Amino acid sequence: MYDGGKRHKNGSHHLIRANLHRMRASGVLPSWYADLQHKLVPSSQPRAYRIVCIGATAAAFIMGIFIGLMIPLYLLPPTAVAASPLLSERPLNLSSSTVPPTLDRPASFDTVSFVQQPQQQQQQQPLLPMPSSSTPVNSSLISDGVYWSDQVERALPRGYDSGSAAEWRRYVRQGRVVKMEEGCGRMQNRLVTFDNGSTSCCRYRQNVDQIQGEIFGFYLGRYILGLPNLTPTTLSRAKPQSRQWSSVKAQVSLAQWVTEDKAVVMTKFVKNLLPAFIPSFLRPSDRRLHPPDVQDSGSDLDVSELAQWSDLVVFDYLTANMDRMINNMYNLQWNPTMMDAPAHNLAKDQGSGLLLFLDNESGLLHGYRLLDKYEHYHKSILNAVCVFRRSTADAIKRLYKQKNVGELLRSAFKQSDPEFVDILPTLPEKNVKILNQRIARVHEQIVRCESMYKSTA
């Protein structure tokens, strides 16, 4: 009875549709009315047929998603999958606490953008064997318990002195800029060529803190501590209308240096630089570079480089620079091979072996603001070192006794770049206070090391 009623109902629907079609064709009904009636009449398609269509559509959708995921995972080469920004990892750039982590390929260890990357230098440097604390101290390497000997000092690269800095400063003030191109790292930095062919890395920053960190870091390292590892650096102003910059007026505009009278940092560009690696003594978590750990350089141990690293540890602790060894240590949480990578913002002169302490803009200001987060890294490195250059230790002892580092920095500013005294603020007093505290901490480490080893020398 039910099936017959259903067949009767379907037959009625066909009859109604046929009648509506004939009436519309004869003009009795408007076409829009007939169409409306046609839509209101239920479809004669069986319900089972519609269910099958819906199920087939859903199955095709699910199959498409499955195929789209499986093809990249199983058919494409691993390098293509690794190139995905969601799957790759790079070390965090600690120079800015507000910038999200940048990503880096685990096999690519960039140190400074303009450092040469020859094939043999891209491979990881093997760890040197860690000497035992019972190893006897070589008297030809260590003097008075904790100082590098005169023999080591004579083997050190000469580096840059105050005369080199003064000569560079004079030329930057007088030389004409004939070429300006991208380079030297960040987007608004420019590689500048002067009319005598010499080149400079010109650093422009919107943030005056970074200009202060770079120039006052140079004054501290070069003039106060006497370190030869800082490339000659001075201040300048890029004025497109001046004779000095007129040849590159268009390039200055393209660089988007919005304020022409703003101070920029001009650092002498050095060619033939190679990546510099962290010494084996300072790579493991139980890092330690004490007198008993220093071995004879008859093997592959480069004692002259170790002596430069002892200066770097002191300098980076004073300035709270996060962009070198701290960068590698922090990024261990993402890349367990980071300590085998080149140190960030550190390079080695291919000819002389001089280590260059580059890009010090995060020190003295930005680094001091982040001490709560990174001080345990700084302390870990400083506490690991108990061998020093005598001249560096003497400078620390003198600064600790006289507590005049702020006065010395202001004097260096006035003597080196007097025309910028009214343009660039000097180092704030609160930062001078922190610097004095860090000088006291380095002094404490030197005295502690002397008490441990000087009596047994």
Q: How far apart are CA 386 and CA 388, in angstroms?
A: 7
390 Cα distance to chain centroid: 31
Structural tokens at position 430: 């609160």
Helix axis angle for 303-319 and 371-384, nearest 10°, is 150
Does residue 390 surpass a pLDDT of 80? Answer: yes
Q: How far apart are CA 178 and CA 175, in angstroms?
A: 9
Q: How far apart are CA 318 and CA 149, in angstroms?
A: 24
The pLDDT of residue 260 is 65
Closest among 442, 425, 430, 432 to 407, alpha carbons compared: 432
Domain boundaries, the chain: 1-45, 136-163+212-233+270-456
pLDDT tens across 394-430, in order?
Answer: 999 999 999 999 999 999 999 999 999 999 999 999 9
Structure-token match 């006897």, residue found: 136
Q: How far apart are CA 259 and CA 244, in angstroms?
A: 17
Q: How far apart are CA 82 and CA 88, in angstroms?
A: 6
Q: What share of the chain is helix, strand, coil (3-state, %, to 5)?
A: 50, 10, 40
Q: Give the other-Cβ count within 10 Å of 357's Cβ.
A: 25
Reported confidence tier of residue 79, pLDDT bands at 50, 70, 90: very low
Q: How far apart are CA 31 and CA 36, in angstroms?
A: 9
pLDDT tens across 146-166, in order?
Answer: 999 999 999 999 999 989 999
pTM: 0.72
Closest among 101, 161, 131 to 327, alpha carbons compared: 101
The pLDDT of residue 81 is 33
Does residue 329 surpass a pLDDT of 80? Answer: yes
Q: How far apart are CA 179 and CA 184, in angstroms?
A: 14
Helix axis angle for 31-40 and 2-26, nearest 10°, is 170
What angle (nearest 5°) sits at the alpha carbon of residue 226, between those of residues 225 and 230?
100
Question: Which residues lie closer than 8 Å to 124 by C-beta, 6 or more apart?
Answer: 337, 340, 341
Does residue 97 surpass a pLDDT of 60? Answer: no
- SS3 of residue 291 by DSSP: helix
Helix intervals (H) in 88-141: 119-122
β-partners of residue 274 are 348
Structure-token match 């001249």, residue found: 391
pLDDT tens across 332-356, in order?
Answer: 999 999 999 999 999 999 999 999 9
- CB burial of residue 191 (10 Å; 0-12, 13-18, 19+): middle
Amino acid at 216: F
pLDDT tens across 203-262, in order?
Answer: 988 789 999 999 999 999 999 999 999 999 999 988 888 888 888 888 888 887 766 667
Residue 21 carries which DSSP code? H
Amino acid at 409: L
Share of the chain above pLDDT 90, in %: 53
Does residue 136 surpass a pLDDT of 50? Answer: no
The pLDDT of residue 427 is 95
